[in-house]
């Protein structure tokens, strides 16, 4: 999110989120992130050693893919659909909220996102926060209302990028940790 916002400001002289949008994103993120502590994950009986090459490699790949997806939606809103700037801000607010929460499901396992079922509390927290974020964007609470059609487009776009990111994540793990034979997330 920070990389996308910084580049949007520097390159396009456009502030993709208002201060209120950033605060709402932070509050909703906290709601979902708190539930991660109760998630279902595989663990080893002995402590693992950090493979920093793998951690930094996969984080970098996913960290670059997010802004690419965000700029793709920004381009669609600005150049293809010719939306005004306030509508693009709401579009980007919803995209960053949805994509950010979907990233939780990417990073919780080394395997495909479906390889380990998330805890019910995590699913409920993400579903709840994203319902609130979507309603805020659709009805324009502290922002320009987006409407259900645009919200559906954002959700579809974010889900497509989520599936692409999951495949890229699996490839990145093979590149940055080719000898890992651990059963974690498989």
Nearby residues of 2 by Cβ (< 8 Å), 6 or more positions away: none
Q: What's the CATH code, domain 19-36+52-176? A: 1.20.1110.10
For residue range 79-121, what is the model confidence (pLDDT) as tens digits?
A: 999 999 999 999 999 999 999 999 999 988 888 999 989 999 9
> Tell me, what DSSP letter sits at residue 37?
G
pLDDT at 179: 65
* Range 39-46, long-range pairs (CB < 8 A, 24+ positions): 39/108, 39/118, 39/119, 39/122, 40/116, 40/117, 40/118, 40/119, 41/108, 41/109, 41/116, 41/184, 41/185, 42/109, 42/116, 42/183, 42/184, 42/185, 42/186, 43/184, 44/182, 44/184
Say how many CA atoms lie within 13 Å of 91 toward its Cβ. 24
Asked whether the predicted pLDDT for residue 185 surpasses 50, the reply is no
Q: Identify the pLDDT of residue 183.
A: 47
Residue 180 has pLDDT above 60, yes or no: no
Query: For 131-172, what is each residue's pLDDT tens digit?
Result: 999 999 999 999 999 999 999 999 999 999 999 999 999 999
Structure tokens at 99: 């994509």
How far is 70 from 38, CA to CA, in rounded Å?
A: 29
pLDDT at 178: 72
Question: What is residue 108's predicted lDDT score, i.e. its pLDDT?
Answer: 87
pLDDT on residue 31: 85
pLDDT tier, 1 (very low <50, low <70, confident <90, very high otherwise): confident
146-151, Cβ contacts within 8 angstroms, sequence gap of 24 or more: 146/87, 146/90, 146/91, 146/94, 150/87, 150/90, 150/91, 151/94
> CA–CA separation, 132 vs 14, rounded Å?
26
Give the C-alpha separation, 97 to 94, whole Å.
Answer: 5
Q: Please give the share of the chain, as a percent, with pLDDT higher than 70.
A: 96
Name, of 4-13, 39-48, 95-104, the range with top average pLDDT. 95-104
- Give pTM, 2 decimals: 0.89
Question: Which two structure tokens, joined as six digits, stand for 106?
Answer: 């990417």
Domain boundaries, the chain: 19-36+52-176
How confident is the model over 31-59, as a mean pLDDT? 84
Q: What is the pLDDT of residue 121?
A: 95
CA 65 to the chain's CA centroid: 10
């Amino acid at each position: 999110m920070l990389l996308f916002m910084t580049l949007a400001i520097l390159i396009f002289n456009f502030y993709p989120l208002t201060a209120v949008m950033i605060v709402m994103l932070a509050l909703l993120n906290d709601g979902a992130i708190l539930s991660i502590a109760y998630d279902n994950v595989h663990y080893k009986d002995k402590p693992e050693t950090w493979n920093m090459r793998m951690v930094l490699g996969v984080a970098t790949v996913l960290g670059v893919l997010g802004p690419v997806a965000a700029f793709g939606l920004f381009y669609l809103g600005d150049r293809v659909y010719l939306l005004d700037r306030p509508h693009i801000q709401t579009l980007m607010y919803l995209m960053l909220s949805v994509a950010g929460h979907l990233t939780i499901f990417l990073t919780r396992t080394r395997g495909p996102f479906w390889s380990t079922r998330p805890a019910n509390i995590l699913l409920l927290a993400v579903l709840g926060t994203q319902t609130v974020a979507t309603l805020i964007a659709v009805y324009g609470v502290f922002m320009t209302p987006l409407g259900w059609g645009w919200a559906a487009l954002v959700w579809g776009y974010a889900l497509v990028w989520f599936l692409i990111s999951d495949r890229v994540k699996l490839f990145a793990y093979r590149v940055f940790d080719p000898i890992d034979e651990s059963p974690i997330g498989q």
